[in-house]
Every structure is written in C-alpha cells, then in structure tokens.
Structure 1
C-alpha cells in the first residue's frame, strides 16, 4: 500500500495546513508526524496548485450559488425551528395548527409555517376572520374547569368524574385530549429501583483486566470517545492508544457519536501501524463498540476484543487519562468557534505535540514516538 493511501484525506489536509498556514517547515512536520518528508512535500505542492491565486475574485456563477445555498440554509433552519416548537400540533387538527401560527406570527414567516404544518394560507385567513368556533370556546371553558378540578394531581379519569358530578357533559376522551394539549397529567410515585441486568448485546469479557503495561508495541490498544464544545454544537473525538508507549495511533472526529466514528479511528490506527494478528483492542461497553460493524472489523483483522466491566471506568483508565490531559492542556475553559477549528486543533495537539514531544512518566520521561524508536533500536 502506498503512503498516499495510508492516510485519510483529513489527515493529509491537516498536515499541509501546518506547513502552509502555521509556518512549520516540511522537515519539522514530517519528523513529528512520522512520514517521509518527500511525501509531505508532494502533498503541499498538490495543495498549492488547487489554491486560488491571490486577489482572485469569485466567479458570478459561484457567487450566485453561494447566495442560493445561504437562502437554502435559512429556509431549512427556519423549518427546523418551526418543527421544534410546533411538534405538539403536527398530529392535531387544523384549528390547533392555526392557533400555533397565530401565536408565532412574529417569529416565523407565514408561508414557511403553512408549508411545514401542511395547511393553506386561505384557510388560515378564513379562520382569523370567523374567530373561534363554538366547539373551541366550549373546549376553553372546559379546560378552565379541568385546571380547577385537577389541582395538579388527578388523571383524566378522576377529573371526568368530578366534572360530571358538577353537571358537565363530557367524555373522558375529550378530557384526555384537552389535558394532553396543555401538558397536564396525573402525579405518579417514584420509579422502581433499577435492576442490574446483563451487559449489552455484543459485550465481551474484560480480557485486559487492568494490565496496562504490555512489553511491546502493537500488543494492546485502548480506545474511547470524548466530546469537545464548539459554537456549532458538540464535536466528538474517538482515539486509539497503544498502551506500550501511550502513543495515539489513530483518531477521528465527527459531529455525531456513531459506530462510524470509532471505526474511522480504528481504521486509521490499522493503516498507520499495520499490526499482526492478535492485537487486543480494549473499550467500554458503549453501543458504538458493541455494534455489529465494530465486531466484524475486529474479526476480519484478527483482533482480540476486550471490554470494561459495566459502569467501571477504571478498567479503561489510561484512555480516560489521555482525555483528561487533553482537556487540561488544550481545551480547558475554551469553546471553539466551529467544528473545523476544533478538529484542526486536535491534529495540532495529537500529531504535532502529544505523540512526538510530550514526555510521559510511564515511558521513562520520553515522548511516545521516541520511546518506540528506542525500543526498535534495542532489537526487541
């Protein structure tokens, strides 16, 4: 496999950014991230050819496309906000939707609310002119009695009995509908004490058993997921660490915490290290690590799965320790402006500082890269 295929597009882009934007030399970056300097030089030259020339202007067609995309983004964002606030009326009658539209007329465009709720503007205008129907006025009167009768305790069955004793003619289904629309419900007791059950489907035994001191690289890998705050939302980071040197051998970021995220990190580790069969991969019992995709990948590459015991974070303490160090040294009291900036900073910390420079007490005061280099020189 060629060097260009060993690394993901995101890895190559971040490596090039260290040279072009941050001012590091090709030799310095290549030595830190462990790739041949001529490979990185080729990536940089390719990137420079695709960069727009200084002073270049955006073509009219591109400008029009940008405006169209911005308008589409505004439309989708508005429809999303309408759905978030109007989810309770989506399955209700037309009049309930009209009431929602009147209440949010200053917040959303009328045409957007009609499109999302599936109603016609002409019907909404007719509803405004005619006012509330007799049935709606009766519902409002009955609802005020429900508020008085419930006291925040009763459910719809007992409230129906109270209303009937007071001379009202109503069914329990009508009372239930009105209470649901207002978010009223009966007070219930404490939930049952949770029972300890068996682990999740796909869980395996703790083969590692807290033996965090393997005698050679590519013997035991540990992996976990953490989150990073940005103003665009959470960015999730999955990392794979070699327990021998504490080197991060694979990592990936994504806006969602899915099984694909951890698989990308594991694939990156396999590409970079090319381990032989039998390497142990230890994780917790998260749904990402018990998924069929994760288990199939381990089986196909003859890796040995191992999982922490349920609810025991100490079984994966080294991975947790790395995330703690990352947040203390780089992320503490910081919110990134967007996910792209956060992902770029993760590359800078892991590939440019943590792996090649940061000293570890468990590695004899050496960096992970230097610790493994001396192991290779010793001929073990």
Structure 2
C-alpha cells in the first residue's frame, strides 16, 4: 500500500470536508480503500493535523488494557476508538482484542525485537524518552476521555429530569467527580468559574429552609393538575395553616419550574337582532349580597374528535358557583331551555333574581323571555359586542378550558362528558378563590349561611 505524508492525508480530508466529492470517489482517486480515508477523517476530527504526525507503535500493556476497557465500557466501535486515541490503524486494536481473548494479559506485553545495541546509547536514550512521552500523552488522553464521558453522563441525566442545566447543577457534577478526576480539569470542561464552584459546594452543607414549603407547593400544584397559579397556591397554603407571602410562593414556583396554564377564546352566539333586546341592568355590578340574587349565563364552543360541542352553564355571582349546565352537539334553543328548567329547581319563592346574558339569539327568543317572566325573573343583556359586560362568565370559560379541556386527554365524547361532570363538581366544591377568602364556592355559601 502506498505511504502518504501528513500533508497528503490532510489534503484528502479537506477535500471531503468541502462536500463536493464523495468519500469513495476521493479514496479511489488516491488509490486507497474508503475505510482508510474514513479513519483519517475521524482522526482529524479528534486531533487535527497532529493526528498524522508519525508516532510510536510500541504501547505498554496498561495502555492497551485501558484502550480496550474504554471501548467495552462506552460501546465505541473499533474505528472510533482508534481515532479517539490516535492509533494509526484500527486493525491494531483488533489484534490486541484477539490476543487478550485467546492468551490473556501476557499476550499484550511488548516483545523486544533484534539484538540490543551497545552503540549509539545517546540515540537509544532519546528514543526511550520519546516513547515515554508518547505513552504519557496517551495515558492523559485516556483519562481525559474517561472524564468527559463521566461528566456528560451525569449532566445528561440531570438534563432529562429538569429540562435545562444551571451552573449549580454543573458545580454539583464536578463535586461528585472530584475524587476521580482533577477539579481544575473538570471546571474547565464544565465551563464554570472556580469561585462559582466553591460558592455552590459551600451551600451544600446548608439545610434548605424552604424544602418543606417547596414540597407542599409541588403537592398542591400536582393535586390541582397545574390549574393553580402562585396566588391560589398561596391561598391554599393559608387554608392549611401556612401563611406565606405570595411573592415567595411565586419565586419558589419559578425555582421548581411550575407554571399555571393559559386561557383560550370563546364561542360567540350573537347573530344580530332577531327578537327583543333587554337593557343592561347588571351594568358590570358583579357583586351579589346573597345566593340567587344575580345569575349570569352564556354558551361556549369546543371541538373534540372532529365534532363541535356547546356548553351552556348558569353561574351565581354571589359565590361563582355553577348552578347547572347543559351540553349538546348543536347550539339549539333546547340547550338553553333545558338549562333554565334545571336551574329553576334551585330557586325559592322568596328569591328575587336577575339573570344576565349577552345578546345571543337564544336569549332574544320569546320562549326564553316568557320563561323568565313566568318566574318573576328580571332579564338583563350585555351591550352589543361588549364582552366585559359579562366578564365573570367569560372568566369561567377561560378557566374551564385551560384547566380542563386543554389539560385532559379524552377517549371519546362520552368520556369527555363524564370528566366534565367531575370538573364542575371540583370547581364548585374544591377549587378555592381568593375573593372568597380562600374557600371554594360551595364552602363559602355554607359558611356564610352558618354565620348568618
């Protein structure tokens, strides 16, 4: 086989790096097998032009064992391992591997060739020095590669759990590997200042005074399936006897990587004036002194499994409780009329109720208006195209969609309806609100009745 100089090998690799020629075509043009060129490329990737400077092929037994151990432990191929350690031919590794398997460690010991010369002692001494330097460099390379693999394996483990790696995480990995490798080399690999490392490890011995609080915050967040932001979690902590500032809860949630979900848009049922428009008697006064004093209603659209679903609830402004709801595949009038019939069961003869909606066509219908008049209920409507006049209902739809619809996975429409029923029950009986003094709607109503 033709021998190639260092410059010729570099030129062949550069031709490949340009990307205009294939591996096989370059190898064929210079009269070598493409596997040889591939080995040059890998050597150049790891060592640059130094890879082609002629070295010594006499390796001590321990170096051979270290290289073979590295290949077995980290699963690198023979060619990749030869390139990593700048061993000119991968066949050398195959020979070591075969000798070790057949004859044991003794087969890896170097054998002296020829007769020992008494002349030219100074040259032999120089050669011995160069061999020793080459061996030391190879040993250093083995240690460096072991360190890199150990470091990145731990970093990768942390990354899969947390999603990102901080300087504190890097310092922790360095601290864990400090007994195996040089701290200086590890810090250089991690690319963090020495001062940062020592600042972090100094804090290792300090007890995290917020550890219990973090666990509680995470438990509340998980219990409510990511629906609570820092304010509501603060209120829930207060309910459990832990008074914490909301800013601290926000800071700890950021440390824990916990984030509340976002809101989405709602369905609009306005189709112009097709009946009678009622005046806006509510006038954004969303405060009610007692239950069944002010109700609000609306319809929202959702899409699941290629089908549209329409939800029509009634909400009591006294405590934000969902009185009742209906759901259907079409926004027909019966969706609203059935909802009314169900809601009327919650009323007593003493209740003087105002019910507010937008100007959707359902609420302009004569049957709807007559149903309210029959029960002595006052009708109120938002102004045209003004969603703020019914902001509480809009707010509920945003919460319901972000906490339930876009969070859960459903098997089919029937499963969705079952889960919706559970969510409404959760919303009424368990989900706390800041304006209700950290109580759920039902609990607030019962508490107010008991106090009265």
Give the TM-score, by structure 2 length: 0.39
Q: Which has the larger radius of gyration?
A: 2
Give the TM-score, by structure 1 length: 0.46
Instruction: Identify which of structures 1 and 2 has the higher relative contact order when contacts are C-alpha pairs closer than 8 Å and 6+ apart.
Output: 1
